[in-house]
A and B are shown apart, each in its own frame.
Chain A
Amino acid sequence: MANDAIYTAALMEHNAHPDYKYDMDDFTHEHEGVNPSCGDEMTLKLRLSDDGSTIEEAAFVGSGCAVSQASADIMAELITGETVEEAKRLSGLFVRMIQGDELSPDEVEDLDEAYQLQSISRMPARVKCAELAWRTLDNIL
């Protein structure tokens, strides 16, 4: 069934050991994202470079299901060190993917591990779990 493809080893690993789940002190930007229907909530914090062009550090805190937590961890890993413009582009790709759009092979490669969440696009009830971190990022950038 479709659910088999959601709980991949990578997702379970990111959920169990989220490297980017901590409360950052010297952040420059933060935003709280909420999924009212799930009770999921997440605060995403970013430290941008002095000129505001690059994401030097990304981290999140909050609670939610394994999908929302793993998606946030994968996203933070992906955008760390990227320019703001690139992070916006990646976020756009992710949202397109999770809404069910086909991505080009290059775009799939760019999303890297985040592409593993692609199967969630077939689970309408879980799409918003996977999107939470990315929509929160969009609100910051």
Chain B
Amino acid sequence: MANRTLHGEDMLTADGRAEWQSRDAKASALAASPYKKDFPLLATKPDLAFLDSAATAQRPAAVLDAQRSFYEEMNANALRGLYDLSVQATEAIDNARAHVARFIGLDGKKDACDIVFCRNTSEALNLLAYSYGSLVLKPGDEVCITIMEHHSNLIPWQQACRAAGAELVYMYPDDQGVISEDEMRAKIGPKTKIVSAAHVSNVLGVANDVKLMGKIAHEFGAAMIVDGAQSVPHFPVDVNDLGCDFFAFSGHKIFGPMGVGVLWGRHELLEAMPPFLTGGEMIDAVTEQTAVWAPVPEKFEAGTQDAAGIYGLDAALSYVESVGYPAMEAREKALVAQCMRRLAELDFVRIIGPADPAAHHGVISFNVCTVHPHDVASILDMDNVAIRAGHHCAQPLLDFLGIDSCCRASFAFYNDSADIDRLIDGLNHVWSMFHGQ
């Protein structure tokens, strides 16, 4: 079992502070975000410090406009209609599929058929646990995940393991949130059939070395699944470079609509898998007693899809490309470094997670000494600061860290140093309310 000093001040090393100060120099251009005007909610609430993008991001006008234009200009049920509107709707989905493929490093023509649209990362991971899980898991097999999984990459595997008589095995991080190669090799072995890991932790913000995990998984013939919900909003992903077999992410965390998500899988695996949901649009032929499945991806897309959402996701990816990952990453890293330095100046705040701000990927979890996170969040709300507080759908991780709950401020590139000022002022307000003036 790894130690538990992830939670505590002892991690705020001198090296860490020096690192922050050097990075803080880069933060001087963060005073006012040039991007907030692209986001109607942020533009109309200039006093709001929205620091909960890891829960759901805001959407730019381009995405909202795209969804509206889908319904205004091309609304018809895709795939089946034999008239122009339906053809347009079908093309909109096909174009989005190709765009998603290119976005994660694939060929927009050849590989688009391996992009499955679903509601969100949770649904994608449930699809894998039920479909791929039922295909490969036998009694005595093992599924290996990390202790830092969101419940959406944890409970589906609990269920799949229970159904198959398999065992769920956990990899644990060290005191900087790193899962070492030794830990991977101690947990991934001949019994392992599936390794599934968060690309980025929604609590610690750390990026797991899923490339190495996948390499080790493949040494034992296991499949590598990457939960990309918290990675694609922050840095570019190339699934071939990662070497994984499946990759899932949610539209709503990458500035797209709620209710549309993506599952990518290696073609031969998707081909071999049984469908998850059955019904309309996922069949080739049906008789009274049998059905022949449609090819992938339709095999996994039963029922009418959220076509406007998919069209909106297409627009969200275009927006991300127009801003560019290098600009997004530079702003986020500078914002996180500045915020961690300012939080470290508050002696009543304990930062949870690695000391190096560069390891945080938009997420800073923390606690205010003696004040319950729900009170912290409620009082910050009085000051127009929106953060998340609670167990962050990661109860086993919080148990591992030895805490019941925590606060989380999470950043996107549209935040600015005024948001950080509001957070710090708000935390001083929290402290003065509970501990006098």
Contact = CB atoms under 8 A, between A and B. Distances in A.
Nearest to B405: A39
Interface of A: 1, 3-4, 6-7, 12, 16, 37-40, 63-67, 123, 125-126, 129
A107 to B, nearest CB: 26
B391 interface: yes
B390 interface: yes
A67 B379 CA distance: 12
Contacts of A63: 404
A1 B375 contact: no
B382 interface: yes
Contacts of B382: 1, 3-4, 7
Contacts of A123: 378
Interface string B369-411: 0011111001101100000001100000000000011000000
A64 B433 contact: no
A116 to B, nearest CB: 16
B41 to A, nearest CB: 17
- Sort chain B's interface into a size bin: 10 to 19
Nearest to A38: B374
Contacts of B405: 38-39
Interface of B: 371-375, 378-379, 381-382, 390-391, 404-405, 433-434
B375 A3 contact: no
A126 B374 contact: yes
A43 B16 CA distance: 42
A7 B374 contact: no
Contacts of A12: 433-434
Contacts of B390: 37-38
Q: Which 8 A-B pairs have CB atoms at the shortest separation, nearest pair first?
A: A39-B404, A65-B372, A65-B374, A3-B382, A66-B375, A65-B375, A39-B405, A3-B378
10 contacts: A1-B381, A1-B382, A4-B382, A7-B375, A7-B433, A39-B405, A64-B372, A65-B372, A125-B374, A129-B374
